[in-house]
Chain A
Amino acid sequence: MSKRTALIFGHNKYADEIISNVKKTYSNIRIFSLEDIDADSSYKVEKFDLSDEWKGIGEDINIEESIAFCVLEDMAENIFLTISLRSNFVDLAIIAVALNRESANKLSMAGANKVIPLVETTADIITNMLEKPISSKILNNILYEESSLKIAQIKIDTESKLDNHKLASIDWTRYHGVLILSLIHEDMKSEFIYSKKMKEYVIQSGDILVVVGYEDDISEFEKIIGSKRYVNWSHWRR
């Protein structure tokens, strides 16, 4: 019942890529397709209809713990699907892919928590590759590739050593091999570590640190400050 489930709507290249990237995090993956199902897929594909009321799904899985990916190639259908999911499941995290320029805005209006604007993102990647080749390579490594350099978000707990410390009093750049880029308040506003506001800021429990470092160093850092890596979707709630 409470299994973390990834619901993927659309059975195409995008879906394949998403499956291969999220299967580690989500043990249960369900794929829904508008078309007739071909048998040779390694995953079970269920057929759905845009007029579905999704009664069955709500009973099967824990919506709070699940995530839905809307990757239908027809943008009108994708938007309709997003609206239909949102109207049925208020708490479902929905990620939608926008294949053209106009639909990104419409998808977020339709209730997607996160829209991946494909045209915009691809253009960003290309521009960065051309204009800032080195930083783009390094960031890509950090973000996407299987390198030992990682980016992580660490939440400060009440038991954490850093709790109630003044942010500026700690030499962050030399702190056990990790670099701290920014701090995110509980209201989900992110602040760059060297910004003016941060000078006098006292770390509170609930703050999240965004750090870059080697995998081992990050684990070490977690142990020392007594907090742990943390993922939640609360900032995506509407």
Chain B
Amino acid sequence: MLKNIVVNIAYYLDTSSTYQKRKRFYYDILENDKNKYKKFIDIFMSVLILISVAVLIREVKYNVDDYLLFFSNYIVSFFFLIEYLLRLWVNSSVSKIIVKRAEYDSFLLRDVRLSKALKEVFLVKIHYMLSPQAIVDLLAIMPFFHQLRVLRIFILFRVFKLFRYTKSIQIITSILATKKFEFLTLAMFASVVIFISSVLIYVMEANQPNSQINTLYKAVYWAIVTISTVGYGDITPVSNEGRFVAMLVISAGVAVLAFTTSLFVSAFTEKLDEIKEIKTVEGIAKLKKLYLICGYSDVASTVAKKLSKAGNKIIVLDKSESRVAEAVKDGFVALAYDPGSVESYKKINVNLDKQVRSILCLSEDDVENVYTALTIRSRSKSVEILSLLINDKNRKKLEFAGINKIVYPQELVGLITKELVGVPVAFEVIHELRSEYANVKIDELGITQRIVDNFATVSELDNKNYRIVLLGIYKTSKERFYFNPMDDTILEVGDYLLVVGYSMFIREFEKYLHTRVRSE
């Protein structure tokens, strides 16, 4: 009976979307770095920690206000308790484990063995509770029982909790963790030296009447002070034998210190690029409407410069380190990831459908471009892909790979020459219109609801007053361009006006379109 109820509840929770959504929310604000609210939780918790440490320090010599003590001991602990319980809750799913067990057992046509499921739940939760971070969390709640004086010191465990809330400390720990073996060797070496030297100095000095090193504890203290090259000099060996030992320890100390420093330095230099990469990737996740350029060729670098001049955000991916370095030098966010590997897109953590305007495959090799396009298509069906085509024979393959727009430079040469020999002057004029440096520009203005409300037909546009040539109107509904439209052409939302004029006047005209109110 009870068993059935438990299983039913588990099924209910596992399928309830509100429950799962709520759980997901708490998980995100506690654990997911990409959640925008997590930052505030982290800051809030850090402030609580700093307040309680400040109270602890103040309390040593002065009298602290009762309210503040109450706050530090109970309220802060209460917050930490809630946090601890939430973490324990979101860390694994009890309902999932029970449901899985129930499914498994019913599949084998036998009674649901709830005890096994509960055992598994217990193990999973205990495993979490025994993780170092969870232990620190638990100890940080301890000051709740502050009547026990010893427990007061547990406030300092709250400082350890800061690790959770600061990303850079996590990075430092992870960097140092990569040198685990070296640090272990160093620790072994240092402890052997300390052990030998403290025993030696104890043997040599303990019976000297005017020596201060008369206990083993003092001997160890002296050895550590000496080996670390700190050398307080509060206790010193007096016998010749003792001084000889000191000389050995000092030499060993230099080695230990040099070894330690070099370890830290090498760990950080090795990881420096990785840290930079992490920072770059973090920055990318926040961008919107970006252009992703795969392959930093000559064309790519020119395109990137033009696009970024127009105020677009650009990310460059290229296999080759040297080309990435070039892109970075040109001032772009660039990563030495292979654009043809799914892994790269996972690493940069970009939502191709939502964050990316277009992906440009601009490598000077059709094989690479096709490969990249297929990789991207495997992650997103809808993102727009533009690619260079180097050899006309491969056009079909590019189309098959799902590339939306293909640019074939060789064909361009042919077309340009045709215009050049046919209408050279006109060609230059059009070319001028397209160039970003010219005063006179061609531009497209979108028709919004507001414009439709105030301008019914083309004749009302009054573009001539703004010294603008209306080249035509693009009807999105019919996907057709109407050149030099009749006066009575009706404007519809979604249409585009193609205008030629001085950029200043185009801006003015656009403003006029958006602000004029029809006078009845």
Residues of A participating in the B interface, judged by any CB pair closer than 8 Å:
13-14, 16-18, 20-22, 25-26, 67, 69, 71, 95, 97, 100-101, 114, 116, 118-132, 134-139, 141-144, 149, 151-153, 173, 177-179, 181-182, 184, 188, 190, 192-195, 208, 210, 212-214, 231, 233, 235-236
Contacts and interface: CB of A to CB of B under 8 A. Distances in A.
Interface of B: 291, 298-299, 302-303, 306-307, 310, 312, 357-358, 360, 362, 386, 388, 391-392, 405, 407, 409-430, 432-435, 439-440, 442-444, 464, 467-472, 474, 481, 483-484, 496, 498, 500-502, 505
Contacts of B496: 134
A101 B356 CA distance: 28
Contacts of B307: 127, 130-131
Contact of B407 (A101, A122, A132, A137): A122
B405 A142 contact: no
Contacts of A17: 410-411, 413-415, 417
Contacts of B469: 173, 179, 181, 193-194
A123 B302 CA distance: 6
B418 A22 contact: yes
B440 A138 contact: no
A231 B423 contact: yes
The 4 A-B residue pairs whose C-beta atoms are closest, nearest first, are: A17-B414, A194-B467, A123-B302, A21-B418
A43 to B, nearest CB: 15
Contact of B386 (A129, A138, A173): A129
A121 B474 contact: no
A144 B417 CA distance: 10
A206 B409 CA distance: 36
A130 B413 contact: no
A101 B302 contact: yes
Contacts of B405: 129
B472 A138 contact: yes
Contacts of B435: 124
B409 A190 contact: no
B165 to A, nearest CB: 41
Contact of B483 (A137, A144, A213, A233): A213
B483 A214 contact: yes
A124 B306 contact: yes
B420 A95 contact: yes
B420 A173 contact: no
A17 B425 CA distance: 22
A173 B474 contact: no
B54 to A, nearest CB: 55
Given A123-B303, A151-B426, A118 B386 contact: no
Contacts of A132: 442-444
Contacts of B472: 138
Contact of B424 (A123, A212, A231): A231
Nearest to B413: A14
B298 A100 contact: yes
A22 B419 contact: no
Contacts of A128: 434
Given A114-B420, A118-B413, 14 more contacts: A17-B415, A18-B417, A101-B298, A127-B303, A130-B357, A130-B358, A132-B443, A135-B498, A139-B433, A173-B469, A173-B470, A173-B484, A192-B502, A194-B501
